[in-house]
Amino acid sequence: MNLLIELLAFAVAIGVLVVVHEYGHYSVARLCGVKVLRFSIGFGKPLFQWVSPKTGTEWTIAALPLGGYVKMLDERETGGEAIDAEALPHAFNRQSVWRRFAIVSAGPVANFLLAIVLFALVFATGVTEPAAIVAAPAANTPAAVAGFDGGETIVAVRTGNAGESEPVRSWSDLRWKLLGAAFDHKRVVLSAKDAHGTSDFQLDLRGIKEKDVDDDFMSRLGFEPGGGKLTVAGVQPGSAAQAAGLAAGDRLLAVDGVPTDNATAFIAFVKSHAGKAVTLQVERGGQQGRVAGPLENISIVPQLQRDDATGQQIGRIGAELATQVPSINVRYGPLESLQLGARRTWDLAVYSVRMFGRMVVGEASLKNLSGPVTIADYAGKSARLGPSAFLSFLALVSISLGVLNLLPIPVLDGGHLLYYLVEAVTGKVVSDRWQLVFQRAGLACIVALSAIALFNDLARLIHF
């Protein structure tokens, strides 16, 4: 059943993205007076064909659905056949360089516009997210240096002391605001509330390097969602947790006297205390922590084990943890939703470009590339989580498709746009000979990227 959901969600996602992308090309081509011969979803043998009596465009659904194309009237692609004189003004190659530029760029632009609309729908209909409550930060992290103790609720952020204050509505909202400030190397002031009132915390992000702005960005800063319940979901036989008497349902309140409400921070503490006794303050509820019970201090010694991912020796106690964090339903008005959708699309597009640039220069791992297997997996997972998650996933992939097509690689839209920019500057069309050379090089790049992405998919699938 899960496989069927994944395949169906993947087909819907790819179908929507391809139609939107190609319709962007098609609509601007029609506006520029170019005759469109075929609009195809997929490649290979046609399964469905229909010719519009008004425009003469052949609409096709083909057997291989991974992509699509719009075929326009072009003297270079007639196979030597002459084009009627009446039709020549409607040929793509007879258009001005800026019209050709507009037609080719319309595909990626359509993907970005789709992402804006999808994000706006998510923001307008409401989405449940973790509240912006901070867990106790690890020592010497920027959050700890700023003065956070844990338990504070961040309500606003502003750039420097004189910047305009922006409200923070959720943990995701906080993450995006800090990502933007880190990219721009700015110092921010976070306003947070606790039992004693509202205080300002200075957070300096000017020294953050681009290579550190990744999925672990918030953890590196010392920010983890807090204010929730950290409970033991299970205990491994023969583990340090079993020997110390931990049991499923125990709620972890503190470790060595420091309050804990976040699994990531707790695991990091345990990893750094291999072979050293630590004291856990535990509330024994008996029902996964839902029923209050007596408090008990438990001494436990994390066992020294080798981390398969890093090869380092770390501490482990052999307990499965579950975190229940406070959540909030965030909903915005129509205009604000569109503004936030545009901003989220811009931020993700910039992040994608910078991440790809870091992979090119070797500052980021090529393991970040994903192929159709991973996309199908995430499509299925997001579909099972509900409409908001699936729409957000669709927006993310649409942005990725737009950015990918704008890369200056021959064969892609970005390669053609590069030719047109050269033509606009020099006044000369890039020769067919050089276009053929660049096309072969671009095709080699695409094949290499596809092979790496497929290898990463298989590596994630079979864990090698």
Chain segment 7-22, per-residue pLDDT in tens: 777 777 888 898 999 9
User: Is residue 252 within 8 Å of 232, Cβ to Cβ?
Assistant: yes
Element of type H or E holding 152? none
The owner of tokens 């991973």 is 374
Q: Which CATH class is domain 142-221?
A: mainly beta
pLDDT at 224: 87
pLDDT at 464: 47
Segments making up each domain of the chain, as ranges: 98-126+334-464, 142-221, 229-323
Q: Which residues form the catalytic set? A: 22
Of the candidates 59, 63, 84, which has an alpha carbon nearest to the alpha carbon of residue 73? 84
Tell me which of 82 and 371 has the higher pLDDT.
82
Average pLDDT over residues 47-75: 88
Tell me which of 368 and 392 has the higher pLDDT.
392
Element of type H or E holding 161? none
pLDDT at 459: 64
For helices 387-406 and 413-426, angle between their N-to-C axes, nearest 10 degrees: 40
Average pLDDT over residues 151-174: 85
Strands (E), 31-165: 36-51, 58-72, 127-130, 153-159
CA 445 to chain centre: 23
Is there a common fold for 142-221 and 229-323?
yes
First-to-last C-alpha distance (Å) of the chain: 26
Does pLDDT of 45 surpass 90?
Answer: no
Average pLDDT over residues 98-104: 94
Q: Which of 90-94, 304-308, 457-461 has the lowest mean pLDDT?
A: 457-461
pLDDT at 289: 40
Tell me which of 160 and 376 has the higher pLDDT.
160
In this prediction the pTM is 0.75
**Percent of the chain, pLDDT > 90?**
24
Average pLDDT over residues 185-190: 88
User: Is residue 91 within 8 Å of 70, Cβ to Cβ?
Assistant: no
Domain 229-323 has CATH 2.30.42.10: yes
Average pLDDT over residues 344-363: 79
Kindly state the tokens that stand for 108. 């990626």
- pLDDT digit string (tens) for 257-294? 888 888 888 888 888 888 889 999 998 864 444 445 67
Does pLDDT of 184 surpass 80?
Answer: no
- DSSP assignment string, 257-318: TEE---HHHHHHHHHTTTTS-EEEEEEE-SSTT-S---EEEEEE-PEEEE-TTT--EEEE--
- pLDDT digit string (tens) for 412-447? 898 889 989 988 888 888 877 877 777 778 777 777
